[in-house]
Every structure is written in C-alpha cells, then in structure tokens.
A and B are shown apart, each in its own frame.
Chain A
Amino acid sequence: MLLASGSRSWNGLDEAMKHMARWLARHLGNSELFLWVIARGGNLHPQFEWELRRRLKDDPPSPSLQVLWALLLSGRVKSRSKHHDLYSWSDRLKAQGLTPTLRFELNSALAPVVKFSRPYRWPSAEGTPEERKTSVSTLFNGK
C-alpha cells in the first residue's frame, strides 16, 4: 500500500493509510513533502491526491509551492511511469509512415514536463528556515 510511487497501480487504502494520507496532506506547505513525492516517482494514490487537492483549496501554501503542486497534479512533472520509448516509435514510423496513433504517441512523448532534483547541500549545512524556503525556487533543472 503506497501513497506515492513510480507506477500507477493502486489498491484501496486501509483506515490507517487514509489517516496517514490526511496527515501528510496537512504538510503540503512543507517543501520536503513535495520532494518526497517526487523522489517516490511522482504518482499519487487517488485518495492522497484528493486530500492534497482539498487541502490546496482550503489552506493554500506559499505561492511557489502552489505552483509546484498544481504542476504535479496536472501531470506536468516528470514521473517514472510516464516513460516513452521513442526508439520503438521511430522504428514504427519508418515502417508505416505517420499514422494518427503515431502522432498521438509523439505528442505524448514530447510533452514538456518539469524535472526536479534536490539541491546538493553539505550534510552539516541545514540552513536557516529562510534559506530552506528559497532553495525551492532553485530546484528547477530544465526539461
């Protein structure tokens, strides 16, 4: 039973995990939660996603985290499950020419997404709360 993972197969959550999802969603103002979700593969359990959406509406975090969560929830953050095999696509194009399906596949493979990575920091350098906050905006690594 997982709240965030690299694949999109989900089971129902038991009561304990439902509480966990609700409790975690209360921390969406903490950039560590966002980074944890990304590190887990970027896919959210539907129930956890629902909790996050509700929390974003009722108790929005800082503007920069609002943008990051919104991007994640709209599928615009790179996730491990959404990997496209362009080599196979290219072989099929050479064999068949462009078909509507190949066009759809190319559009999905080339759809821009944001790639995040954790900024490198010396283990002893915890930083002040203000420094930790500003590091969120420097996570963007290009696409």
Chain B
Amino acid sequence: MGTDYAHSVLGALEKVDKWADALPVLLPDATALLRDALDLMRELGGASDREDLSYIHQPSISDHEQNNDFNEWTELIVMTRDAWLTATDADPEMAKIEVKRWLGIHYPVFRRLAFFAAAQRPDLIDEGLALGSLLSDDHYWLWTSMTRRETIRLIASLSTRISPEQSERLQAAINNGPRPRCSAMI
C-alpha cells in the first residue's frame, strides 16, 4: 500500500464513532482494494482462483491471536470484514448483496469472508446460498486448507439450521471425501 502503518492507524480508529459511521459506506471500496491486492499477487504468481496466501498471512477472518500485522495488505481483510459487520446493522440489504459479490470474486480470501459472514449472521445469509457455495466447484471449498477455519465454522453453524434434505446433501458430500483433485491440498 502507499502507506506503511495502516494497521496502527486504522486499528486506533476502532472505537471512533465517525469511523464506525464511515465503514458501511466504505464497504464496496474495501472489497475493491482487497481484490486489487489479490490481482497484484496473481500478476506475480502468488494467487489464483483456488489459492492465495491469506490463510498463512491472516489465519482467521475473525479476531484471533494467530493473526498478526506483519503483512500490510491483511489490513484490507480486516477493513472489509469490519465494513461488512457494520453494514449488517446500517444497511442489511447492502450487506447481503456484498456477500454475493464476494462469491463472484475468484480468490479463497473472498470465499473465507463469505463463509465468515454466513456463519456470523445466519439471519441475513440464506442457508441455501451458504451450502451451495460450500459445495460448489466440485466440493473444493469443503476440503481445501485455504478456507479451512471458516469452512469448519460454517459447517457448525449450518448443522443447526439446514433442512433434512440439505443436511443429507452435506453429509453425503462429507462421506464421499475429497475428490482426487483436492486430496493433494489436504
């Protein structure tokens, strides 16, 4: 980024009301900036539709002691997440639309954000959409280590609210195990 201390400046704004008011407005910008970061990594061979370094640089989308500030770009993950969380109250419709937008951006970090959102606010994200995105791409996201933490939380959240048919679909996918293409990733 054009600045070297985004983590400390934006971290210090956490409890500032005007920042909380600004965040929902900044949600589309945060998504676009994060996408730019991933596109740059793709240009340099460091990211693809199915792989990126987010699971190493930012092991958890929710706050976690394993997350650190060593890589400036991870502040964009935090900002996107926080912008979305504030938008769920300020403008729930926009928050829902943004999750659909994330699902259309082909990098694991956006899939992680979508899984996080679906587990965090089941009232906003339809379980059919959540389950569909989990089992899409030949069940890749169910098994890959790229999204594992958020995948497991989403499964835990879905297990309490999906219909018997949906539950059967999920169990069948789990029982079938990873497809040969995915097994190398585990």
A residues near B, CB below 8 A? 67, 71, 76, 78, 82-87, 89-90, 93-94, 96-98, 103, 106-114, 137, 140, 142-143
Contacts and interface: CB of A to CB of B under 8 A. Distances in A.
Interface string B16-44: 10110110011001000100110010011
B7 to A, nearest CB: 10
Contacts of B79: 110
Contact of B3 (A83, A94, A103, A137): A83
A77 to B, nearest CB: 10
Contacts of B9: 86-87, 89-90
Contacts of A93: 13, 16, 18-19, 22
Interface stretch (B69-77, B87-95, B165-173): B69-77
Contacts of A71: 40, 43
Interface of B: 1-3, 5-6, 9-10, 12-13, 16, 18-19, 21-22, 25-26, 29, 33, 36-37, 40, 43-46, 57, 71-73, 75-76, 79
A106 B29 contact: yes
Contacts of B57: 142
A114 B3 CA distance: 12
Contact of A112 (B16, B22, B25, B33): B33
A89 B103 CA distance: 32
B2 A103 contact: no
Contacts of A85: 3
Contacts, number: 91
A89 B9 CA distance: 9
Contacts of B46: 140
Given A142-B72, A142-B73, 18 more contacts: A76-B40, A83-B3, A85-B3, A86-B5, A89-B9, A93-B19, A97-B18, A98-B25, A103-B22, A103-B26, A109-B6, A110-B6, A111-B2, A112-B33, A113-B1, A140-B46, A143-B37, A143-B40
A90 B12 contact: yes
Contacts of B45: 137
A6 B29 CA distance: 28
A58 to B, nearest CB: 22
A109 B3 contact: yes
A114 B44 contact: yes
